[in-house]
Structure 1
Amino acid sequence: MPEPMRDEGLRSVLAMLAPGSPLREGIERVIRAGRGALIVIGWTPEIEAVVSGGFVIDIGATSQRVAELAKMDGALVLDGDAQRVLRANVHLVPDPAIETSETGTRHRSAERTARQTGQPVIAVSESMGMVTLYYGDRRHTVEEVSALLFRANQALSTLERYRARLDEVSATLAAREVEDAVTVRDVVLTLQRAEMLRRIALEVEDHVVELGSEGRLIQLQLDELVASVADDRELVVRDYLADRRRKLPRVLDDVAALSTDDLLDSELVASILAYDEEELDRPVTPRGYRLLSRIPRLPPRVVERLVDRFGNLPRIMEASIAELDEVEGVGESRARTIQDGLRRLAEASLLERYV
C-alpha cells in the first residue's frame, strides 16, 4: 500500500496543481505547445539567494500568462499561493554540490533549488511532457486525470472491502460485549481493521487533493465510507485500554505510527493497549462507551457519568431505572431511554450474529 502523504505543505502545493486551477491549466498549455518550463512557488530570502537576472513582473498568474511567460528560457517565480507571477526569465543558481539524481539540466536545477530552499519547484519536461514537483527532498510526478481517477477508484474499491470487514468485526465485538465474552484478541482485531481503513482513506484523500474539481464524486463516496471510523477507534481504546493513566491521543498516535507489518502483529497492538503479549485470549469487560454512544440523543457527559458510576457495561445493562436515575443528568425519562436503547442494541447485535 502506498504511504499516504502526511506533509500538509505538499498537499497544499498539489492542490494548486490540481485540474481546474490556473497553474495546472497554464502548465497544460505549455505541454500542448511542446515546450518545457521551470516554476518556483514562493518568494523567500532563500529563493532570492539562488535567483539571478530576469524581470520583476508581479501580475496575476492566469493560465494564459503562465503559458506565455514560460516561453522564455528562464524560470518563473510565483508567490506562495501561486496567485501572482513575481519574476520571469530568472536563472536559478543553486549550490552545485547538492546531490541530485536527475540528469537533465532543468530537472537538476529544480531538485537542487528545492533541496536548498525548501520551496516547491515544478519542472515540465519538454521532451516527454511530464510534470515533476520537487519539494524539499521529495519528488512527486504529477499524473494525468485519467490515471489518477483509475487509482482513486481502485483505492475506493479496496476501502469498500475493508469497510465491510470492519463492520463484521465490529458487529461481532458488540455481540460479545452484550454476552460479556470479549477477549483481547477481539479488541485488537477491531482496532487493526479500523486503523487499516483509516490509512486507505488517507490514500484516497491524497488522490482527491490531486484531482481537484474532478474529485468531487470520489470525496462524497469517501465521506460515506469513513463516517464514524475515527469515533470508533477512539471508543474501542476508551473501552479497553488497560492502563487508564495513558492518554487517549498518545495511544492512537502509537497505533498510527506502526508500519503495516507491525499493525498486523496482534501482540504488538495489544501491548499498546497495555496488555502483555501472552494475554490475547484474556477475557476483558468493556466500560460501555461504544454501546452507549449508539443511543440517540445521549450526551457524552452523561455517558462519562454512567461509566464513572457503574464501571462497566454489564453493570450499566443490569441497572434498574431507579439506579440509572441517580446519575446526574439522567432523570427518569432518560433512564428509560438508556435501558430501552441498550436492550434493543443487545437484541440487534445477537440477531445479527446468530441469524
Structure 2
Amino acid sequence: MEGDALSIGRLPEEIIRLAPGTPLRDGLDRIVSGHTGALIVLGTSDALQAISTGGFVIDVPFTAPQLRELAKMDGAIVLSDNADRIVAAGVHLSPDASLPTGETGTRHRSAERVARQVGLPVVTVSASMSTISLFTGGSRIVVPRPDELVARANQALAAIGVHRERLTASLTRLNGLELHDAVTLRDVAHVGQRFEMTNRLAGEASTYVSALGVDGRLPALQLRDLVDDLTPLSSLIQRDYVCEGAETMPFAGLTQLDDQDLFDIVLVGRRLGFPADLHLDSPIRPRGLRLLASVPRLPAGVSARLVAAFDGLPGLAAASDADLMAVEGVTEPLAHAVRDSLAHVAGTPPTP
C-alpha cells in the first residue's frame, strides 16, 4: 500500500506529535540516522496486551537516546499514551493474520494489522528506505521530511495569497454595488465562494504548519497575516445578507460542498440560504453593517441604529450630517466620519 499524502482533514493528531522539535521525532530521527528499523506502538490497552508476548517492561521516562538504543533490539517498543514514557521493549506482537494488509514488508504488515486490531497508532522506521510511517486504523501516512513540509506550506501560502487577492477584488466590487443598490444574488454567491476557497487553503496550510512543529513559526506568522481578518469580515457579510426570518447567512453550509460543487454558483447560492425561486440576477439588499464597520470609532450599537433608520446604504450615503445626527448616539464628528467613509468607498467627495 502506498503511503498517503497529507491533505485537508486527513492529518491525524499523532502527526503533530511526530513534528520536528518534539522528543519523539528526535528519537525517530536518531533511528533513521543509525540505519536501523523500528516498530513503535503509541499507547497501551488490554487489546494490545492480548496480542503481546515476550519482551520486558521498562516504564521509564522517555528520552530520544534510549529510544534509539532500544530500536537496536528485535521486537516492538511500546510507549505510553502521551509518549512521555517507554513502557516496554522487545515485545513480540501477534496480530490477527486474517486482517487485510497491502504492505509487503514484515514490519509494515505487522504495524498495519496491529493498528487495525487494537486501534492504537503505530509508527515504523524503515531501515532500507530511511522513512518514518504512521499507521492509524486502516491508513498509512509516510511522515514527510521537514523540507517537504516547508515546500508544501509555501505552496499553500502562495495559493492563499492569490485567492485572497481575488476575494479582496470581489469585496471592492461589492462595495460599489452596495452603495448603488445594485447587488445581485450572483455577487453575494461569488463572495461566499471566495471566502470558502480561501478558508480551505488556509486549513491545508495550517495542516502543514502544525506538522512542521518548531520549524513552522515563520509560515505560521505568514498564514496569520493572510487570514486573521477573515472571520470578522465573513461574519459581517453574513449579517449583512441574512435572509428574512434567519439570524445569519450560513457560510458554514459551503463547507459541505466538494471542490467541484463549490464552482456551481447556483448551488452556492442555495447553500447560503437564499430561496430556490431567486435567480442569480435577483437583486439583494445589504443591511450595511460591513461598510459601517470601517468607520473609525463608530460603536456597533450606533451602526445598528443607523441601519434601522435608513433604507439601505444608498439612503445612508445620501444622508446629510443633520439626518445622521438625528439617530441616537451619532455626534457631529461621527456623522462626518460616516459620510467621509462612505464617500471614500464610492470614490466621490462627500456632499456638503
Higher helix share: 1
- Alpha carbons of structure 1 residues 93 and 234: separation in structure 2 relative to 1, 3 Å: farther
C-alpha offsets along residues 220-261 of structure 1, whole Å, 9 cap, x if unaligned?
11100112112222222222232543665xx23311111011
Distance change in 2, residues 1:323/1:59 (3 Å): farther
Give unmatched runs, 5+ long, in structure 1: none
Specify the SS of the correspondent of 1:56.
Answer: strand
2:15 matched to 1:14? yes
Q: Distance in 1 between matches of 2:138 and 2:302?
A: 49
Could you tell me whether the CA contact under 8 Å between 2:192 and 2:251 is conserved in 1? Answer: no
Deviation at 1:17? 0.6
Deviation at 1:56, TM superposition (A): 1.5
**Using a 3 Å threshold, how does the CA distance of structure 1 residues 113 and 244 change in structure 2: closer, same or farther?**
farther
State how far apart, in whole Å, the 2-side matches of 1:302 and 1:233 are: 20
| DSSP 3-state at the match of 2:347 | helix
The one-letter code of the counterpart of 1:129 is S
Counterpart-to-counterpart distance in 2, 1:163 and 1:130: 36
TM-score, structure 2 as length reference: 0.88
1:342 is displaced (CA, Å) by 3.4
How far the C-alpha of 1:122 sits from its partner, in A, is: 0.7
Change (3 A) 1:149 1:331: same
Gap change, CA 1:336 and 1:276, over 3 Å in 2: farther
Q: 1:181 and 1:104, CA in 2 relative to 1: closer, same or farther beyond 3 A?
A: same
3-state SS in 2 of match to 1:99? coil
202-211 or 130-139, which deviates more: 130-139
Tell me which residue corresponds to 2:220.
219
> Which one-letter code corresponds to 1:270 in the other structure?
G
Q: Which runs of 5+ in 2 are unaligned?
A: none
Give me the whole-angstrom Cα distance separating, in 2, the residues matched to 1:50 and 1:324. Answer: 76
Deviations 1:121-163 (A, max 9, x none): 1111111111111122332111111111112111111111111
**How much is the aligned-residue C-alpha RMSD, in angstroms?**
2.5
Q: Is residue 267–residue 277 contact of structure 1 (8 Å, CA) maintained in 2? A: no
2:106 equivalent to 1:105: yes
Secondary structure of residue in 2 paired with 1:182? coil
Aligned counterparts of 2:277 and 2:122: Cα–Cα separation in 1? 48
Q: Over residues 330-355 of structure 1, what are the superposed CA-to-partner deviations in whole Å (9 max), with x where a residue is unaligned?
A: 5243x742x33433332332339xxx
Distance in 1 between the 2:343 and 2:316 partners?
A: 16
Contact 2:40 2:77 (C-alpha < 8 Å) held by counterparts: yes
Aligned residue identity for 2:259: T
How far, CA to CA, are the matches of 1:350 and 1:102 in structure 2?
Answer: 63
- Which shows bigger deviation, 285-294 or 185-194? 285-294
Compared with structure 1, are the counterparts of its residues 124 and 299 closer, same or farther at alpha carbon in structure 2 (3 Å cutoff)? farther
Shifted more, 260-269 versus 146-155: the winner is 146-155
Deviates more, 1:294-303 or 1:202-211: 294-303
CA distance in structure 2 between the aligned counterparts of 1:46 and 1:306, rounded to whole angstroms: 64
The match for 2:293 is 293
TM-aligned CA distance change 1:310 to 1:32, over 3 Å: same
Identity, in percent, stands at: 41
Aligned to 1:348: 344
Structure 1 position 5 matched with structure 2 position 8: yes
TM-score normalised to the size of structure 1?
Answer: 0.88
Paired residue for 2:329? 331
Distance in 2, matches of 1:134 and 1:300, equals 50
What residue identity is the alignment partner of 1:342? V
Contact 2:242-2:248 within 8 A present in 1 as well: no
Alignment of 1:118-157 (within 5 A): 118-157=119-158
- Contact 2:238–2:248 at 8 Å: present in 1 too? no
- Asked whether the 8 Å contact 2:59–2:86 carries over to 1, the reply is yes
Please identify, of 182-191 and 342-351, the stretch whose mean Cα deviation from structure 2 is larger. Answer: 342-351
Q: Distance in 2 between matches of 1:310 and 1:99?
A: 67
Counterpart amino acid of 1:61?
F
Q: 1:242 to 1:83 in 2, by over 3 A?
A: same
Whether the 8 Å CA contact 1:268–1:277 is kept in 2: the answer is no
**Pairwise CA distance, 1:213:** 0.8
Judged with a 3 Å threshold, the aligned counterparts in structure 2 of structure 1 residues 340 and 57 are, in CA distance, closer, same or farther, namely farther
Q: 2:181 is matched with which residue?
A: 180
Q: How many residues align?
A: 343
Q: Confirm or deny: 8 A CA contact 1:4 1:199 kept in the other structure.
A: no
Cα distance in structure 2, aligned partners of 1:341 and 1:45: 68
Q: Deviations over 1:63-111 (max 9, x none)?
A: 1111111111111111222211112111222222222111111111111
Summarize deviations over 1:24-68 as a string: whole Å, max 9, x none: 111111111111111111223333333333221121211111111
The verdict on how the C-alpha distance between 1:301 and 1:40 changes in structure 2, with shifts beyond 3 A counting, is: farther
The structural deviation recorded for 1:316 is 4.3
CA shift at 1:295, angstroms? 2.5
Q: CA 1:340–1:89 in 2, change beyond 3 Å: closer, same or farther?
A: farther
Tell me the residue number matched to 1:283: 283
Using the alignment, how far apart are the partners of 2:97 and 2:310 within structure 1? 68
Cα distance in 1 between the residues matched to 2:138 and 2:308:
49
Q: In structure 1, how many angstroms separate the alpha carbons of the residues matched to 2:305 and 2:68? A: 63
Compute the displacement of 1:188 (Å): 0.9
Deviations 1:252-273 (A, max 9, x none): 3311111011111000011112
Q: Distance in 1 between matches of 2:172 and 2:43?
A: 50
**Mapped partners of 1:137, 1:299: distance in 2:** 53
Distance in 2 between residues matched to 1:276 and 1:111, nearest whole Å? 48
